[in-house]
């Protein structure tokens, strides 16, 4: 796979990254043998970035990655770790924390669970409304100077916040939901800001929580995720699946799956210099192999125009998340004038 830089001066990455969250899902955890094999399959195939968080499975995910890494694997792997999601004993999220003391404490535990002396990218998962982003990023910058972190990332940050963070220390990556069903980064200034500042983008949710696999079917009794993912709600699902059906002839014409077409579309947004990397979640090795096929696809300009016409940016029914979760997303608050300070 051809590599691409994660921002100006950032590490060289394969265009696909492995999202490890599903391996530690609290309701349907993956078989650990499969999960370990999936991580190793990805690394052996040239995937470099492993995306995790200290709150995935309350530390289980980091422990799992440590067990999966064989001698020599750590040198190949770029470990991207999110922090700041607070959870109670029952697993529910109870808040967001970005104070400098928490940043350092969280990394200490992550290093122990991952069995490493540094992480490659450290990022707040969401923005703490009670802590200025300058303070959070400043704490990660101190950890860089101490040798415990290599690069700083952000997640779901809006343009104003990206600029404020970048003024404290170079940001190499912004993680954002970006897919054919989530085109917000194109219109809310996030992609433009990242391109201007030389910041890479790791796009997650590239398969729209399963809708863009082309194999999604509504479970009997409805999808339990619909209460926090409105696009899976019965009132929206039929319209969204109809959009997926528009992609099938395009995928068939290339002899690929709808999922591979959707991943290839995200990778095509890199345009050769932006550092867009697609984070693909997988729990079994064959899912990695399917995604890898998309990394080698090159969509023509005509195909990209046809895809855009089949799935217009404003045609998707329902918001990304339910209202309480949308309120946590700095990325959804729209662009703010440079220099304007937000409570989040």
User: How many beta carbons lie within 10 A of that of residue 186, not counting itself?
Assistant: 13
Residues in the chain: 344
CA of 127: how far to CAs of 131, 132, 188, 235, in Å? 8, 9, 17, 31
Tell me, yes or no, if 56 is annotated catalytic: yes
User: Catalytic pick from 56, 148, 216, 321?
Assistant: 56
CA of 23: how far to CAs of 31, 64, 165, 225, in Å? 8, 9, 31, 17
Show the CA angle centred on residue 194, arms to residues 190 and 200, nearest 5°.
120
Q: Which two tokens stand for residue 145?
A: 């100077």
Element (H, E) at 161: helix 159-168
Separation of CA 10 from chain center: 17
Residue 338 class from Cβ within 10 Å (0-12 exposed, 13-18 middle, 19+ buried)?
A: exposed
Which three-class secondary structure state does DSSP give residue 59?
helix
Which three-class secondary structure state does DSSP give residue 95?
strand
Q: Which two tokens stand for residue 260?
A: 């591979």
- CA 278 – CA 314 distance, rounded (Å): 22
Helices (H), 20-132: 32-44, 60-68, 73-76, 100-114
Residues with a catalytic annotation lie at: 56
């Amino acid at each position: 796979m051809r590599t691409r830089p994660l921002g100006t001066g950032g590490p060289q990455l394969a265009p696909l990254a492995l999202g490890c969250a599903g391996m530690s899902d609290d309701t349907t955890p993956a078989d650990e043998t499969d999960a370990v094999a999936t991580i190793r399959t990805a690394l052996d195939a040239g995937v470099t970035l492993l995306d995790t968080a200290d709150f995935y499975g309350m530390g289980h995910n980091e422990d799992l990655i440590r067990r999966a890494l064989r001698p020599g694997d750590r040198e190949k792997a770029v470990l991207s770790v999110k922090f700041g999601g607070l959870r109670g004993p029952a697993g529910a999220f109870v808040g967001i924390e970005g104070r400098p003391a928490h940043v350092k404490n969280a990394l200490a535990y992550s290093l122990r669970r991952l069995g490493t002396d540094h992480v490659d990218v450290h990022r707040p998962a969401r923005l703490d409304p009670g802590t200025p982003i300058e303070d959070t990023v400043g704490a990660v910058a101190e950890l860089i100077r101490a040798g415990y972190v290599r690069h700083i990332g952000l997640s779901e940050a809006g343009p104003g916040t990206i600029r404020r963070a970048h003024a404290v220390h170079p940001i190499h990556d912004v993680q954002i939901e970006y897919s054919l069903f989530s085109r917000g980064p194109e219109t809310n200034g996030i992609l433009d800001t990242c391109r201007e500042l030389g910041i890479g983008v790791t796009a997650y949710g590239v398969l729209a929580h399963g809708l863009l696999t082309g194999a999604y079917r509504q479970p009997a009794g409805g999808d339990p995720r619909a209460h926090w993912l409105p696009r899976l709600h019965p009132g929206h699902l039929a319209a969204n699946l109809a959009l997926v059906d528009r992609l099938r002839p395009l995928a068939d014409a290339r002899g690929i799956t709808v999922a591979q077409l959707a991943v290839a579309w995200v990778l095509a947004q890199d345009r050769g210099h932006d550092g867009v990397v697609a984070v693909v979640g997988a729990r079994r090795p064959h899912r990695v192999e399917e995604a890898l096929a998309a990394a080698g696809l090159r969509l023509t300009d005509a195909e990209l125009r046809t895809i855009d016409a089949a799935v217009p940016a404003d045609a998707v029914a329902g918001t990304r998340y339910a209202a309480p979760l949308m309120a946590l997303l700095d990325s959804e608050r729209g662009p703010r004038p440079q220099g304007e300070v937000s409570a989040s």
